[in-house]
Amino acid sequence: MTTTTLAENFNQIGIIGRLESRSVEQSVLRLLQLLQQHNKQYCIEQSLADAMDVLDCPARDRQSLGQWADLIVVVGGDGTFLGAARDVARYEVPMLGINRGRLGFLTDIMPSEMETGLADVFRGEFQLEDRFLLQAKIIRNGDVVAQDCALNDVVLHPGQSIRMIEFDLFIDDQFVYSQKSDGLIVSTPTGSTAYALSAGGPLMHPNMHALVLVPMFPHSLNNRPIVVGAQAQLCIRIGHKNTLPPHVSLDAQNHLELAHGDELHISKYPQTVKLIHLKGHNYFETCRTKLGWGNRIENLERESDQ
């Protein structure tokens, strides 16, 4: 399906946001005006509607919004987008982010671009990326006792303990190593610019179909990040020597608690997030801007003009 054909189906627009500042409220109100001008039906998530009592429009919870909408517009920062993506990923509805946060790797449309950006999207002039998620399951005595998904990363960490944790890692039923460390970050390409990056992991282009496993302060200096295919089945067995059971964090927002002897299974989530960028979006330009990479060519041109 072409982007033009896909855009023709953008008739019911769901709006998700977290009211953290006056700027978010202003962007939501402006967004509603623009959707009215484009003759689109729209519905706002219930929690945002409750926080903005000036609104007079239909509201639904996120699950219902995911089922109803042809397009989801997220107003906020990357954290807001992560939470929204996890909640509606099963419906595979395209998602567009209006940046009211700091970095904006996912919500990369600035408020000043909203008017022209929406017009371009409704004309089908946009780029569409499929971003895969991770599914984490905790297995206890052969039964699944907890599960959740993550777009950025699944992180095994000590929780309230300050001691290192011990665990065994298996990939596709093959033993990899026993490790003693502060934990392990399992990241998608989307999450490679987040926590995994700060722990020394590599940047992975969003088009890559791979996972990176980044040890957190391992006791052995020989432990290094490992990159595996996205279809890999990971199993982390929690040792009985840990003082306190470790925890699992998903996108640093949702948390699961492990018990001694549990297994943490991590695999690719069945559905993907369909992320919309404006035409001309450049991943490396985003990295230069957000991560402070040097603009060497621009500097050389500036020096030659002097």
* Whole-angstrom distance, CA of residue 1 vs CA of residue 32: 28
7/56 Cα distance (integer angstroms): 26
Kindly list the distances between the CA atom of residue 303 and the CA atoms of 151, 288, 294, 297, 299, in Å, as whole numbers in the listed order. 42, 19, 14, 10, 6
Q: How does the average pLDDT of the chain come out, rounded?
A: 92
Confidence label for 219 from pLDDT (cuts 50, 70 and 90) = confident
Which pair of structure tokens corresponds to residue 184?
Answer: 């392990």
210 Cβ neighbours under 8 A, 6+ residues apart: 189, 204, 227, 228, 229, 230
- The DSSP code for 104 is -
Residue 165 has which token pair?
A: 């944790």
- Residue 301: its pLDDT value, please? 52
Would the pLDDT of 25 be above 60? yes
- Residue 224: band (very low, low, confident or very high) from pLDDT cuts 50, 70, 90: very high
Positions of CATH 3.40.50.10330 in the chain? 3-124
Superfamily of chain region 3-124: Probable inorganic polyphosphate/atp-NAD kinase; domain 1 (3.40.50.10330)
pLDDT tens per residue, range 30-66: 999 999 999 999 999 999 988 887 677 899 999 999 9
Positions annotated as catalytic residues are: 78
The 10s digit of each residue's pLDDT in 247-263 is: 999 999 999 999 989 99
Interval 170-190: pLDDT, tens: 999 999 999 999 999 999 999
Share of the chain above pLDDT 70, in %: 96
Phi, psi (deg, nearest 5) at residue 176: -100, -60
| CA–CA separation, 294 and 289 (whole Å) | 9
Question: How many whole angstroms separate alpha carbon 231 and alpha carbon 89?
Answer: 18
Query: pLDDT at position 173, please?
Result: 98
pLDDT over 70 at 280, yes or no: yes
> Which helix H or strand E contains 129, and what residues bound it?
strand 126-140
Of 209, 206, 231, the closest CA to residue 106 belongs to: 206
Per-residue burial over 26-65, b if 16 or more Cβ lie within 10 Å, else e, is ebbeebbebbeeeebebbbbeebbebbeebeeebbebeeb
Rounded to 5 degrees, φ, ψ at 245 are -60, 135
CB of 107 closer than 8 Å to CB of 249: no
Of 103-107, 198-202, 217-221, give the range with the top mean pLDDT.
198-202
pLDDT above 80: residue 70:
yes
- pLDDT for 296 beyond 90: no
C-alpha–C-alpha distance, residues 94 and 73, integer Å: 9
* Residue 118 in tokens: 């929406």
pTM as predicted: 0.92
Question: Tokens 């623009």 map to which residue?
Answer: 34
Residues of the chain with CATH 2.60.200.30: 134-270
- Helix H or strand E segment including 196: helix 195-198
* pLDDT tens profile 97-141: 999 987 789 998 999 999 999 999 999 999 999 999 999 999 999
pLDDT band at 22 (very low <50, low <70, confident <90, very high): confident
Among the listed residues 169, 89, 71, the one whose alpha carbon sits nearest the alpha carbon of residue 134: 89
**Cα Dmax for the chain:** 71
Buried b (16+ CB within 10 A) or exposed e, 244-273: ebbbbbbbeeeebebeeebbbbbbbbebbb
Region 10-25: mean pLDDT is 89
CATH 2.60.200.30 corresponds to the domain 134-270: yes
Question: What span, in angstroms and rounded, lies between the C-alpha atoms of 225 and 197?
Answer: 11
Reported confidence tier of residue 300, pLDDT bands at 50, 70, 90: very low
Amino acid 305: pLDDT = 53
Please report the pLDDT score of residue 270 as a whole number. Answer: 97
What residue type is assigned to position 269 of the chain? Y
Quote the pLDDT of residue 289: 87
Task: Please tell me the predicted confidence (pLDDT) of residue 297.
Answer: 55
H/E element, 35: helix 22-37
Determine the 3-state secondary structure of 105 from DSSP: coil
**pLDDT greater than 90 at residue 160:** no
Task: State pLDDT tens for residues 227-251.
Answer: 999 999 999 999 888 878 899 999 9
